[in-house]
Amino acid sequence: MLPLIHPGYHKTGTTWMQRRLFLPEHGFASLFSHEDIDALIFQPGPFSFDAGRVTALAEERHDRLGRHLVPVISSEILSGQPYIGGRDCRMIADRLKETFPEAMVIVTIREQLALLPSLYMQYLQAGGTLSHQRFFAGRSVIGNYGFDPAFWDYDRFVGHYAALFGRDRMIVHPMEVLIRHPAAIVEKLNRLTGAGTDAARVDFSNATYGARESVVPLIRRINHVRRNDFGFGTIVDLGRLGTLAYRAANKFSRSDLAARLGVTGKPVTRHVAERFADRFAASNTALQEFVTEDLVGLGYPLAR
């Protein structure tokens, strides 16, 4: 079996690919859910990972779904945990190589200064309570991990996958191209995998709608009384009421009423632009050799 591995990055159109593209009607068989990948690849300790078990299960599911389909293993989890600086991304890549040594790879990226505000909004969606200033400041306790901008130096991540699987067996696709020329990703994958997907039959509409930055202070306060995905205790757990409050804030942020009331600011985007202004230019310059499109034309800062 020669699967297509899609390890993310987070916030680069991955959910759209999983819900709209990696489907049997387009020639793909998605072998594992996020929960499967977490249990089989992400969670096992350094002496507990069983590559043979993962391979056997993948073969079994490929047989059941159809051997004529291109097997796909897609999850942002595979790129590592961004809230701890992706400290696990190399370990996961090495486990994938051990399990599927001849796999094909697609890595999806997005210009960093546009991506990072979305990452923080994802953190809030998961129930986080740190301010964006504190979140992007990184770790505060010795022996612990926090946000690390080095995780978004794409050239290192992409370079490691290229070294493991071969540059001729991988593609790097910017999210900006997915937005401007959506059919291009289908063409690339057809060439790489032979899937034969008909771009005219693919639904290119958005797959998710997150809250906007204007309601960040409100959501942070709601998260103090809402269950979170981090296992942290809340001041008071309001149960379903807390979930409904978050959804209401999300919906309000995207409403005409919010626009009429002037609730439209982008404090996170402004902070990221100031804090990381030229941080990724050198990495993007090195990344260019792995990307067929002109990164400057897509809005990526490159070193002069």
Q: What is the chain's pLDDT, residue by residue, as a tens digit (304 residues)?
A: 899 999 999 999 999 999 999 999 999 999 999 999 999 999 999 999 999 999 999 999 999 999 999 999 999 999 999 998 898 999 999 999 999 999 999 999 999 999 999 999 999 999 999 999 999 998 877 777 889 999 999 999 999 999 999 999 999 999 999 999 999 999 999 999 999 999 999 999 987 788 899 999 999 999 999 988 887 777 778 888 888 999 999 988 988 888 887 888 899 999 999 999 999 999 999 999 999 999 999 999 999 7
Residues 6+ apart with CB under 8 A from 58: 1, 3, 31, 32, 71, 73, 99, 100
φ, ψ of residue 95 to 5 degrees: the values are: -65, -40
Residues 211/126, Cβ–Cβ less than 8 Å = no
φ, ψ of residue 171 to 5 degrees: the values are: -130, 150
Pairing of strands 170-174, 28-30: unpaired
For residue 136, is it within any domain? no
Report d(CA 162, CA 105) in Å as an integer: 9
**Which structural domain range is residue 285 located in?**
4-114+150-207+279-290
Looking at the structure, do residues 203 and 217 belong to the same domain, yes or no? no
Looking at the structure, do residues 94 and 230 belong to the same domain, yes or no? no
For residue 130, is it within any domain? no
Residues 6+ apart with CB under 8 A from 148: 84, 85, 86, 87, 138, 139
Looking at the structure, do residues 193 and 238 belong to the same domain, yes or no? no
The counts of H helices and E strands in the chain are: 14, 5
Q: How far is CA 220 from CA 23, 102, 275, in A?
A: 36, 44, 21
Looking at the structure, do residues 87 and 197 belong to the same domain, yes or no? yes
13: CATH? 3.40.50.300
Looking at the structure, do residues 191 and 244 belong to the same domain, yes or no? no
Looking at the structure, do residues 65 and 192 belong to the same domain, yes or no? yes
φ, ψ of residue 283 to 5 degrees: the values are: -65, -45
Residues 6+ apart with CB under 8 A from 29: 61, 62, 65, 66, 69, 70, 71, 72
- The number of domains in the chain is 2
- Token pair listed for 53: 């078990």
Residues 138/228, Cβ–Cβ less than 8 Å = no
End-to-end Cα separation, the chain, in angstroms:
44
Q: What is the number of other CB atoms lying within 10 angstroms of the CB of residue 218?
A: 18
Looking at the structure, do residues 167 and 229 belong to the same domain, yes or no? no
Looking at the structure, do residues 94 and 160 belong to the same domain, yes or no? yes
Which H/E stretch holds residue 136? Answer: helix 132-137
For residue 188, is it within any domain? yes
Looking at the structure, do residues 180 and 219 belong to the same domain, yes or no? no
How high is the pLDDT of residue 36?
Answer: 97
For residue 126, is it within any domain? no
How high is the pLDDT of residue 208?
Answer: 78
For residue 141, is it within any domain? no
Which H/E stretch holds residue 29? Answer: strand 28-30
Q: What is the number of other CB atoms lying within 10 angstroms of the CB of residue 193?
A: 20
Report d(CA 177, CA 253) in Å as an integer: 27
How high is the pLDDT of residue 145?
Answer: 85
Report d(CA 103, CA 250) in Å as an integer: 39
Handedness of CA 148, 154, 157, 160 (dihedral sign): negative
Looking at the structure, do residues 42 and 79 belong to the same domain, yes or no? yes
